[in-house]
Structure 1
Amino acid sequence: MSWTAILLAGQRPGVDPLAAHFGQEWKALVPVAGEAMLSRVARTLLACPSIGRIVVMAQEPKALFVGDCAWLADEPRIATSVSHVGIATSVAEVAGSAAAPWPILLTTADHPLLTPAMVEAAIAGVGDADVGIGMVGRRTLLAAYPDNRRTWLKFAGEAWTGANLFALRTPAARRALLAWSAIEQDRKKAFRLIWHFGPLLALRAATRTISLAGALAKAGAAVGVRAVPVPLPFAEAGIDVDKPSDHVLAEAILTQRGLTA
């Protein structure tokens, strides 16, 4: 099955601190180990057997096709889409169109440590569910990078951080996107995020009497989709580049891999 990758390369309103730190207008163009993050992630996606096409989504996607990223304009498997008010709403608008047919994998340009193995694992892990959400367990990440700081969602048995990999397998996933559009402003506030799906689920999450899989099953059922977590065994899958310390770590990892430009 050929998947569409929607590569989110826009940014929140206002000045992005990481972009400003590196003298860039757009965060996606910040170089890591000698290459813009957008270029790295796009090349990784094109190397994945399951990915047939890429849609770069941003406020001004063509403005990103400069410097290291100029090659994207000439790649026949890459198209663009303009994002509007919210990420989830913008994705829902294009999902299922001729440019972005189902199934769809969402990922972000600030994930320069992404590898084809991570992408293929996220796609395989969704199984027959409508939505699969790539996650990395705290034990997995901190065993490799004990000083790394993430936003952790704490459930029975383990705490989890997102991997910026969302497998949207069926058209029913649009319902999840529309639900997410109403709550994405709380994405960094674990309790408030879960509260949107009801006080009982929030209470069980707060007391850690429900697993991540159980919580996603209940949240998905509330909006009419089957949603599953996809635990990933790659510590680096949980590391995106939001701040200078992430950038230092990502450069060190890519240098160790021998992937400097």
Structure 2
Amino acid sequence: MQYDAIILAGGENTSELKKIAPYDNEALIIIDKYPMIHYVYQALRNSSFIKNIVICGPKEALRNIFIKEENLLFAESGENAIESFSNSVKLLENHSITEKILVMPTDIPFITTEAIDDFINRCEKSRADFYYSITTKEVNEKVFPGVTRTYVKLKDGTFTGGNLFLVREKVIPRCLRVGVELIERRKNPLAMAKLFGFGLVWSFITKQLTISKAEKRFYEVIGIKGKAIISPYAEVGVDVDKPSDLELAQNYLKG
């Protein structure tokens, strides 16, 4: 089975990163000899699972980077990731959109084709509407010792969110509505707790929360069957959003 893919490349360069990488957009930051978006695109393009690719961001600048590429579409970025995703989906709908769509950000230059293929293979082994990647602290520390990530302790282990997502095309409208609501609540823990229930929050506080319990509650509240995919590839869970990450990428991807 083949999948269309979306790279969300509309993220503005943060003030902290911009001090050492003076580009307005993260996708255009040069790592070794190439813009950051180059590494993500190449890993994606080399996957046999991938059909059309949409890059959502500053269209003219991105077109100049990929001027000779085929089966590559460009969408204008929105005010946030949800709007950008929506713009990309609308573009794909004019090109025989696939049953499921792979989504990823532009700030993961460490990503490899092997990691992408492994994620898709694991997704195909279970039925869900929305698949999201996670990685363990042990995996990340083994490949990138000392890298700073936000980890969550669950009964199953200690995990960090990954950067690969697979979503069923039929549930995208619902995902967009939920995404807007989650963005509105993201800085308000009380509002988030009200959405998912204090029982889930208490399970987390007492370290009794499991992945399966979180998935079940997600379905009860949102109506979308989500599935966490534990990736053995650290490249899935490490992104570039601060100077130390960029320094790591410069050393790691040096030609």
C-alpha distance in 1 between matches for 2:249 and 2:188: 25
User: CA offset at residue 30 of structure 1?
Assistant: 0.7
Whichever residue aligns with residue 210 of structure 1, its letter is L
C-alpha distance in 1, partners of 2:112/2:193? 30
Q: Please give the per-residue CA displacement for 1:71-113, whole angstroms capped at 9, x wherever unaligned.
A: x233221101112232124323543612472311111111111
Matches within 5 A, 1:69-80: 69=65, 72-80=66-74
2:93 aligns with 97
- Cα distance, 1:181 vs structure 2: 2.0
Distance 1:111 1:94 in 2: 19
1:85 is matched with 79
Q: Is the 8 A contact 1:108 1:164 kept in 2?
A: yes
- Alpha carbons of 1:114 and 1:18: their partners in 2 closer, same or farther (altered >3 Å)? same
Q: Contact conserved, 2:134 with 2:159, CA < 8 A, in 1?
A: yes
Structure 2 stretches lacking a partner, 5+ long: none
C-alpha spacing 1:100/1:163, structure 2 compared with 1 (3 Å): farther
CA contact (8 A) 1:5 1:104 kept: yes
Match of 1:21 in 2: 20
What are the within-5 Å matches in structure 2 for residues 57-136 of structure 1? 57-58=56-57, 60-66=58-64, 69=65, 72-95=66-89, 97-99=93-95, 101-102=97-98, 103-126=100-123, 127-136=126-135
- Displacement of 1:249 after TM fit? 1.5
Change (3 A) 1:239 1:190: farther
CA distance in 1, matches of 2:194, 2:140: 26
Pair 35,187 (structure 1): closer, same or farther in 2 beyond 3 Å: farther
User: What is the CA distance between 1:175 and its match in structure 2?
Assistant: 1.7
Query: Any idea what the Cα deviations from partners look like across 1:7-28, whole Å, max 9, x if unmatched?
Result: 010115x854324421212111
Measured in 1, the distance between the counterparts of 2:192 and 2:74 equals 30
How many pairs were matched up? 250
Given the superposition, is the C-alpha separation of residues 235 and 168 from structure 1 closer, same or farther in structure 2, using an over 3 Å criterion? same
> Which residue number corresponds to residue 183 of structure 1?
182
Hey, which bits of structure 1, 4+ residues long, moved more than 6 A?
188-192
Letter paired with 1:73: I
1:234 positional shift: 1.1
Q: Which moved more, 1:140-149 or 1:193-202?
A: 193-202
Give the drift of 1:129: 0.9
Cα RMSD between the aligned structures? 2.5
Q: Which residue of 1 aligns with 2:213?
A: 214
CA distance in 1, matches of 2:229, 2:80: 24
Write the letter of the residue equivalent to 2:72: I
- Is this contact kept in 1: 2:133–2:230, CA < 8 A? yes
Deviates more, 1:174-183 or 1:32-41: 174-183
Secondary structure of the residue aligned to 2:179 is helix
Pair 15,82 (structure 1): closer, same or farther in 2 beyond 3 Å? same
Native 8 Å contact 2:16 2:243 kept in 1: no
SS at match of 1:252: helix
State the alpha-carbon separation in 2 of the partners of residues 220 and 89 from structure 1: 23
**Which deviates the most, 18-27 or 47-56?**
18-27
The equivalent of 1:239 in structure 2 is 238
- Where do 5+ consecutive residues of structure 1 fail to align? none
Instruction: Name the SS of the counterpart of 1:18 in structure 2.
Output: helix
| Preserved CA contact (<8 Å) 1:94 1:100 | no
Cα distance change, pair 15–233 in 1 and its aligned pair in 2 (3 A)? closer
Tell me if structure 1 keeps the 8 A contact 2:133–2:229.
yes
Alpha-carbon distance between aligned partners in 2 of 1:107 and 1:152, rounded to the nearest angstrom:
20
- Partner amino acid for 2:7? L
Q: Which residue of 2 aligns with 1:56?
A: 55
Give the distance between the partners of 2:76 and 2:159, measured in 1 at CA. Answer: 31
Give % identity: 25
Say whether residues 1:11 and 2:23 are aligned partners: no
TM-score of the superposition, structure 2-length normalised? Answer: 0.87
